Amino acid sequence: MTTSLSTVLGGNPPLWVSGRTYGQWQIVRSPADYQLYVRITAAGSGATDPSADAVNYLPAGGRAPKSNQRGTITIASGAASATATVTAVVTGKSRLRRLGYTFNGAGDQQVVPRLALTNTTTITATRNGTTGDTVVSWELTEYF
């Protein structure tokens, strides 16, 4: 039986097979996304791939990126928000990062933009204040 220790020491975890019994803390590779998962419940078998079975399995190790998108959103003078359309992602498996922003207005307004993945295909940038343009750059990474 492959254990988490043998995987750490260089073993190759088995590809998960429906109906096969796996022990608690055993690491397997999902045939659906080829990522590693560790069985967290008592030894048992099942018909649900580990990538879709959060009751019995948790991701093991780092997640590999599936896709990476980058772009900018311009919040025009007079507006408090703007959006960008992206290729559809699974929101629960995605990470949105603000890479930087510029502001060309005058005064002491708070214009630091906030980003949110508002649905599977939309990023929304919002700010306080509406004087001047704010351009925010972003990166969206989806993981397996």
Q: For 30-59, how does the pLDDT look when each residue is reduced to its tens digit (9 = 90+)?
A: 999 888 999 999 999 999 999 999 899 998
Question: 1-61 — its CATH code?
Answer: 2.10.10.20
Looking at the whole model, is its pTM more than 0.75? no
132 confidence band (pLDDT: 50, 70, 90): confident
61 confidence band (pLDDT: 50, 70, 90): confident
Domain with CATH 2.10.10.20 in the chain: 1-61
Structural contact between residues 27 and 4, judged by C-beta atoms closer than 8 angstroms: yes
| Residue 4, pLDDT above cutoff 90 | no
Between 3.40.1350, 2.60.40, 3.90.1070, 1.20.1280, what CATH number should domain 65-143 receive?
Answer: 2.60.40
